[in-house]
Structure 1
Amino acid sequence: MDPRTSDWAAPKQLRSLRTRAFAVGAVATVVSAIGLFTDHGRFFDSYITSWIFVLSAPIGMLGLLLINHVTRGTWGVIARRVFEAGARSLPVMALLFIPVLIGMREIYTWADPEIVANDALIQEKTPWLNVPFFIGRAVVYFVAWIALAFSISRLSRQQDDNADPALAQRMTSIAAGGLVLYGLTVTFAIFDWLMSLDPHWFSSIYGV
């Protein structure tokens, strides 16, 4: 069977699942909107928890994709397309980060000037924990992750039509440097998005 000419379209049963998923998503959106207007503080607390939970899937798949290309292990070949598809959903997660930015003062105490003015410890952390720098770092994280995901995915698709060994070498090179970037950005992202929920507490290994 030639993978370049075979029909790899999803079965009809799976396609119908997409419609159902959209329906569930629509209902969830309505319920979320009700929660936003009835208790927006609790809504944003729930949102950041749910968002991080969902984000862990594409971030984890990106990590597995990078590791697979660095090791060149056959263990990941069968799942590589799944890893690539999951990692390519990162732009969606970036868009879903917007509500976190909107509700920052509800989610993060250090984003509230009144609280900061009366908390000496948070004031010491202000050079790092401030809204503009927080947003800037988030942009850097997502740009790095999305660039890694799409660059490797693009080369992987080229490999389907061209068995040039140089493509595999390029993906390995990108993944090797990408793993260092991935480790740093994921660690600092978790510091920013989760550990800073309580700015009085810190851990040097929390990102692990």
Structure 2
Amino acid sequence: MSDINLQITVKEDNFILFKRCIRRLLESTFLLKEKEERLYAFLAKESNRQDVSDYLRMIGYDVLVDEKCELAMLTVNEADAETVGLKRANIVTFSGIQYHLLLALWETYLENLGYDESVFITRGDLIDKLKSFGLQLVSAELKAAFKLFKKYNLIDYDEEENGEDAKIRLYPSLQFGWDIPQFKAVADEYLHTEDEEEENENPPEAETENFGEDDE
């Protein structure tokens, strides 16, 4: 195995931003221009992004900047994607309920994309949407999910507001918050449930035989 050689030269004026960007990415995975414009601007500059990327690759990570969505995110370094013990290093496994909630939030984001610069949903509308999917969350489950999603910059909200009119800000990072194998499992479960409901509503007609008298 070859030795690891890291050579990074960061200007003194940028050293604090360099440290803050790395710590922020490791802490919350996503870094949003809307929330941390100065850090995002630092990473948007190719030379700075390369320095951060070189550093992160030493520990199995990398950084990706999506200028269209105006966000930067921590990713697994491609070279370590299949390395045992590292390939899931920055993957958070949500519970089934949290994944269903994430799907509902992402669908809401897509439905409202393009109408306003910022996308919001009220707590009451979200609960109604979840009920339409056949999912009812108790307050503790909803609170835990919100707290986790906020930590990773998928949503934002005022923790002091708990009424139905409380607004939840949806971020474009929602589209990147998927663990593909778990997403497929949840989607298959949803489709299976949907098929069962359709069969219950429209049961197949029973086959009947003709017991009429034979023609003479």
TM-score range, shorter chain: under 0.3
Q: Give the TM-score of the pair, scaled to structure 1.
A: 0.24
More strand by share: 2
Q: Give the TM-score of the pair, scaled to structure 2.
A: 0.24
More helix by share: 1
